[in-house]
Amino acid sequence: MVILMLGAQGTGKGTVAGLLSEKLGWPQISTGDIFRKNMKEETPLGVEANKYMSKGELVPDEITVPMVANRLNEEDAQAGAILDGFPRNLAQAEKLDEILQEKGKKVDLVINLTSPKNEIITRILNRRVCSNQACKTTYNLTMHPPKKEGICDKCGAELVQRGDDSDEAAIQNRLNIYDEKTLPLVEFYSQKGVLRTEEISEKTGRLGKDVAEDILKEIKGDIKIG
């Protein structure tokens, strides 16, 4: 089964995808995490990706698509996979369909998360991520803070703020790019009949944990998170 996470940055895609991954045992495949790992290691891919990510721009398809295809070939992704941050545009979506078709697979479910824009910006500015690449747990200093300041509850590693999460202008630019290039995917997958839209907002009190729990009930029965 292949699940896609749609939604602007800061809507909670990583949180929902992480909960689903934990309970289903399927990998959470995040292009953002792969880019950041390569940037930290200063690989050729990382150097190229950094030119775009530092400006809040999307990494070109010629860098992104082959990387995703290779990741889907790995053994742990054969039973199921959760794509977080890919595809980002119609061209990538069409290419993903081709990649999956060659494997006899298809996109089974698309979870489209929405949130008020002012909440998204505040959420991103307060986001902290576990520096342990094997953990990558995400926290929010106001909504979901760690028990000990600056330390991951799960593995004890240091929590860090991503460089592209500290600049409000860059965040706004990323949201504008999403509206322009990624929002058409909502219509694309809606026409395929696999789209499920959920709003995550402090005002309604419905958070990522609630969305993940509902989806898990539908996929494999009544599974409680907590």
Nearest to 33, CA basis, from 22, 21, 23, 46: 46
- The answer to whether 13 is a known catalytic residue is yes
Catalytic residue, from 162, 192, 217, 220: name it. 162
Catalytic residue, from 71, 128, 136, 174: name it. 174
Catalytic residue, from 36, 71, 95, 127: name it. 127
Catalytic residue, from 36, 71, 88, 136: name it. 88
- The answer to whether 88 is a known catalytic residue is yes
- The answer to whether 71 is a known catalytic residue is no
Catalytic residue, from 13, 36, 95, 128: name it. 13
- The answer to whether 128 is a known catalytic residue is no
Task: Classify residue 224 as exposed, middle or buried by CB count within 10 Å of its CB (0-12, 13-18, 19+).
Answer: exposed
- The answer to whether 162 is a known catalytic residue is yes
Q: Which residues are catalytic?
A: 13, 88, 127, 162, 174
